Structure 1
Amino acid sequence: MNTLSNGEFFGQTNKILHLGGLTITDTEYTHSYVDWHYHENAYFTFLLQGNVIETNKKETYECSAGTLLYHHWEDPHYNIKPDGFTRGFHIEVSKDWFEQYQVSKDRIEGSFNLKNPSLQLLVYQIFKETKINDQASDLSVQQLLLDIFSQLSARHIHRLEKKPVWVNRIDELLHENFTEKLNLTDLSQILDIHPIHLSRDFQKYFHCNMGEYIRKLKIRKSLTLLHKAESLSDIALECGFSDQSHFIRCFKNNTGLTPLKYKKILQR
């Protein structure tokens, strides 16, 4: 089985940065099939454009733009890339980094698909910082990554608890229907739990209120569309915003930039 060393991925790496124990790469995938392999370091894969299918020993993920995967070191998997341009952003984390920042490795072993839009938006922020790449970028990237691992550790604690059935169900419902107008009463009836219970405990499991979570899902969707030639009004409509101005305002609140400025960064 192939073992890939630090910063090595199958494809054409367009940019590579080394930031205090992290190796960050922006890579165009050029191989239609990559046989079983693993990486010497833990890393995140964030798909910026295109599609790829990844299989590990437990699951198969059909990944489109916006998909965020985590792989622990020496965790074997293989990849299939359908036709078309595919681009991935990788954050490779050395063992020294885990020790330096006292991040427990035992809580995040394995490979998994991170569907939480809060985590996906944090990775978009890291991507933005690598494109700005000024004196403050190193500090910003480290802080954002620590925030990601903090949330992953909280996820691990919740996995050890007996999580209510409704938690996964509400996540599925919001991912499937975030472009529609939703209300607490209808969701509570579908889940068969009291609205107060749903409202109170949603924050516990998702680290934000339901409205914020839905907005993050919309912004995450919009980020996957910005590399295309669609107008901002079309993107706003497709993502469920009431109008273009609402989309721009919400986008800036979540990313710190307007959609057009972020689109320019994506094209660098």
Structure 2
Amino acid sequence: MKHSQKGEFYGDTHKTICLDGITLTDTVYTHPKVDWHYHEHAYFTFILQGNVIEGNKKEIYDCSPGSLLFHNWQDAHYNIKPEGFTRGFHLEIEKKWFDTLGLNNETLEGSSKIGNPLIKLLMYKIFRASKLDTDASISTQSLLLEILSQLKNDSQGILHKKPKWVTQIDEILREQFAENLTLEVLSKMINVHPMHLSRDFSKYFNCTLGEYIRKLKVEKALSLMALQNQSFTEIAYQCGFSDQSHFNRCFKEVNDMKPSDHKKLLFSK
């Protein structure tokens, strides 16, 4: 079985940034299929454009723009790339990085597809930092620590059995964020009093209900922008914004830049 070294992915790597214990790569995938292999270090794969199918010993993931995967260093997997252009952004983490910061990486095991939209938004920020910052070290490490903290919270939530309504409302919001949802409607759907829902939501999601819905909309917009075949107005309405102006304001609030600026970075080499 092939053992891939640091920074080695299967395609044309446009850019590699080596930081202290972290390696960032931006790669256009060129291999229709990559047989079973594993990598030297634990890493995240963030699909920026196109599609890829990935399988491991337990699951098969169908990945489109905005999909985020994690692999531990010893976890074997394979990849299949359908026809068309596919590009991935990778963040590799060496063991020495965890050791230097005194972090425990035991919770990062196996392979998984990460659905948490807050983590995906952080990955977009790391990607943009790799394009904009002459020294991306501090921003990348800070954002990565936020990602690991969120992953730890998600893991602890599973272990300590969060209230049932937390999982219910997250599933509802991820599927119906573009609809005109109200606090009263959501409360009835999960059978929780509106005051209780409003008060306790931030305890489990680290933001208010309204902020979470806006972040879901923006995260969806980011994935749609990779397709290139829709205008900002079309994306705005598809994601549930009242108009493009509303979309622009929310997008900048979440990402600290305008949609047009992000799109320029996404399609720049």
Q: Which TM-score band (shorter chain)?
A: over 0.9
Give the structure 2 partner of residue 231 of structure 1: 231
| Contact 1:55-1:78 at 8 Å conserved across structures | yes
Give the structure 1 partner of residue 78 of structure 2: 78
Give the structure 2 partner of residue 9 of structure 1: 9
Q: 1:19 & 1:144 partners in 2: Cα distance? A: 14
Give the structure 2 partner of residue 121 of structure 1: 121
Which segments of 5 or more consecutive residues in structure 1 lack a partner in the other structure?
A: none
Q: 1:130 & 1:204 partners in 2: Cα distance? A: 32
Give the structure 2 partner of residue 65 of structure 1: 65
* Matched residue type, 1:186: V
Q: 1:56 & 1:170 partners in 2: Cα distance? A: 30
**Structure 1 stretches of 4+ moved >6 Å:** none
2:207 maps to 1:211: no
Q: 1:57 & 1:101 partners in 2: Cα distance? A: 31
Q: 1:176 & 1:155 partners in 2: Cα distance? A: 19
Q: 2:145 & 2:37 partners in 1: Cα distance? A: 27
Q: 1:57 & 1:200 partners in 2: Cα distance? A: 41
Give the structure 2 partner of residue 44 of structure 1: 44
| Contact 1:43-1:91 at 8 Å conserved across structures | yes
Q: Displacement, 1:130?
A: 0.5
Q: TM-score, normalised by structure 2?
A: 0.94
Secondary structure of residue in 1 paired with 2:44? strand
| Contact 1:108-1:156 at 8 Å conserved across structures | no
* Matched residue type, 1:242: S
Give the structure 1 partner of residue 91 of structure 2: 91
Q: Displacement, 1:177?
A: 0.7
Q: Deviations over 1:179-206 (max 9, x none)?
A: 1111122222222233333333322222
Q: Displacement, 1:144?
A: 0.7
| Contact 1:252-1:258 at 8 Å conserved across structures | yes
Q: Deviations over 1:225-257 (max 9, x none)?
A: 224042221111111111111111111111111
Q: Which moved more, 1:214-223 or 1:152-161?
A: 152-161
Q: Deviations over 1:111-145 (max 9, x none)?
A: 2111111111111000001001313x211111111
Which segments of 5 or more consecutive residues in structure 2 lack a partner in the other structure?
A: none
* Matched residue type, 2:211: E
How many residue pairs get matched?
Answer: 267
| Contact 1:103-1:149 at 8 Å conserved across structures | no
Secondary structure of residue in 1 paired with 2:107? helix
Q: Displacement, 1:94?
A: 0.5
* Matched residue type, 1:153: K
Q: Deviations over 1:207-229 (max 9, x none)?
A: 21221111111111111222404
Give the structure 2 partner of residue 146 of structure 1: 145
Q: Displacement, 1:14?
A: 1.2
Secondary structure of residue in 2 paired with 1:36? strand
Secondary structure of residue in 2 paired with 1:106? coil
- After TM superposition, the structure 1 = structure 2 runs for residues 145-224 of structure 1, keeping only pairs within 5 Å, are 145-224=144-223
Secondary structure of residue in 2 paired with 1:73? coil
Q: Deviations over 1:78-102 (max 9, x none)?
A: 1121111111000000001111122
Q: Deviations over 1:48-86 (max 9, x none)?
A: 011111122222211110011111111111112111111
Give the structure 1 partner of residue 258 of structure 2: 258
- After TM superposition, the structure 1 = structure 2 runs for residues 19-34 of structure 1, keeping only pairs within 5 Å, are 19-34=19-34
- After TM superposition, the structure 1 = structure 2 runs for residues 103-114 of structure 1, keeping only pairs within 5 Å, are 103-114=103-114
Q: 1:239 & 1:184 partners in 2: Cα distance? A: 19
| Cα root mean square deviation, aligned | 1.4
Q: Displacement, 1:104?
A: 1.1
Q: For residues 199 and 51 of structure 1, do their structure 2 counterparts lie closer, same or farther at Cα, with a shift above 3 Å needed?
A: same
Q: Displacement, 1:261?
A: 1.0
Q: 1:230 & 1:77 partners in 2: Cα distance? A: 33
